[in-house]
Chains A and B, each alone.
Chain A
Amino acid sequence: MKIIKTLALGLTVAAATQMTHAADTGFDMQTVDPEADRIALQKYFKSRFPESDIADYVNGIYAVDAGSREQWEELEEFPPYEFDVEQGEELFNTAFANGKGYADCFENGGIGIRQNFPYWSKEEGTVKTLEQEINECRVNNGEEPLKWGKGAIAQISAYMAWTSRDKVFDIKIPADDERAKAAYLDGKKFFYAKRGQLNLSCANCHVQGSNIAIRADLPSPQLGHVTHFPVFRSKWGSLGTLHRRYSGCHKDSRSKPLKPQAEEFRNLEYFQSYMSNGLVANGPGSRK
């Protein structure tokens, strides 16, 4: 009985794989079209999971798997990241030795701006992430940079996300700078290319394989991936940044993992965040 049921599911997977067959545009600098990508991705998930609202994808796997949603909603009633947000607020408001603070480094005093990250910096010719600017703020004011993956940087980021809840993601790819488009394309390519000894792309699990069990885990859909970061993961037992998760995923493909804030990861974040345009910021989040 159980076997037959899983067999039916297996067939669904085969059908789903069919749908992802190649488009013939959008894969080089001449043809890449971020807005078409974003719409195509929404369309893909709409057809995979017709019951789920696009807006709900900020809730990750719980947008498409009713079974685990209930448990998660209970968890969110007493969110495991609450302490981190409080700590983050305190850190955010603690002045540096020179009397300045994080509020001096960001637009609008750093409040309600999470949805604008990452962004393309024309001056520096690179993608800038929120965590990167938190550390730059420190260094520019004579403080030591924080470690990227967890701890204080994740807490500060969590507080900044908290003040931005329900703001709509609006990542821009400036038309007047080809390098921005190139960074987006690079991130897209990173997402879809198979790599590592296990020969896995991000898409293997998070597009085709989303909501299909790998042992007892259900991979989340890529749509809405970034909106809830930083995240408190039960598996970690702590709060972590998006790039901590990227390193972990990269390693899971048995690639030698890149370090957080590597250019490839920032470009990946740029691509993924653009895919979440139109969705709201809801970080920090909690996940299994």
Chain B
Amino acid sequence: MIDKRYRSAAEIVAQCPSLQDGATLLVGGFGDAGVPHQLLLAVRDLGLHDLTIISNNAGSGDGGLAALLQAGAVTRVVCSFPRSAGSVVFEELYAAGRITLEIVPQGTLAERIRAGGAGIPAFYTPTAYGTPLAEGRETREFDGRHYVMERALRADVALIHACTGDRWGNLTYAATARNFNPVMATAATSTLAEVRQLVEHTPPETIITPGIFVTRLVAVAA
């Protein structure tokens, strides 16, 4: 019988072979909505080093991503908008030169991850053409318009937050807590999901992330 459910966030991360020093992690969430806070805290407790984090923001306050940054586990961040209210930890590490930052336009970030999950190594987009974010990048003209080549993004592990999950790993999401989570679920060697509620069965038409994209899941307090 397929059963992807684990008992605790600590157990799910401890038994994930992809979580090692130097790993790249996709982390879901936009602002504070849909951030896998409990998984991030569990990863922090593993004491890993030299992680790369791909996420829209760079953590606010001292929860979740900020806690992982504070622990010194992260040396590189790929994101679209690190400058958020309360993203103090990241700002300090960046100012101190202890973390490198790659800024990616938000739609390009989402599409690079989508491409990574769909087996597409690169694509062309007009976004950022002629701007500092496209400097040194391969460009090409199609039908009179200029495009920048962007490479796909994949990761060793995706940490995502969902509303409900079942033993097959089928997931649903709450309102805008969906954001990057379903896209990131497709683009990692191991996708770990924290859900607010485990359910026996998910009505098929309501499933947003089919279980094929989910390696393991755990219920966390909402």
User: Are both chains from one complex?
Assistant: no
